[in-house]
Amino acid sequence: MFDQNSRYYKIETATLTDASGRQMAYKRRRFLPRAEDLQTLTKVSVVQSDRLDLISVRTLGDPEQFWRICDASDAMNPPDLTAEPGKSVRVPIPQP
């Protein structure tokens, strides 16, 4: 259902049966990990016009891994992390 690099890949798939008997598959809710439990690879100071995908490709080699930076920085809203130049964001060591 999801690519191995997706934040949802390891989340359990569940099924729901509606009133007509039709079964629907869905992913259970993903909770943010505790940021303090993630080992830091580096910290990056945000510059003007920076984006998480750009930071992610520079540090992790993959723009689609931006969600790892969000997890390590306790961010529910990704744009908040790059809204303020000079702000520091944590880049974690990727976990398998």
Whether 77 is in a domain gets the answer yes
In total, how many domains does the chain have? 1
Cα–Cα dist 78/4, whole Å? 21
What was the pLDDT predicted at 95?
81
Whether 45 is in a domain gets the answer yes
Query: Could you report the per-residue pLDDT of 14-60, keeping only the tens digit for each?
Result: 999 999 999 999 999 998 899 999 999 999 999 999 999 999 999 99
Whether 4 is in a domain gets the answer no
Query: Could you report the per-residue pLDDT of 58-92, keeping only the tens digit for each?
Result: 999 999 999 999 999 999 899 999 999 999 999 99
Query: Both tokens of residue 10?
Result: 């390891």
Task: Give the end-to-end CA distance of the chain in Å, rounded to a whole number.
Answer: 18
Distances (CA, A) of 50 to 30, 34, 84: 27, 25, 10
H or E, element range at 68: helix 66-72
Whether 19 is in a domain gets the answer no
Whether 85 is in a domain gets the answer yes
The domain containing residue 53 runs over which residues?
Answer: 33-92
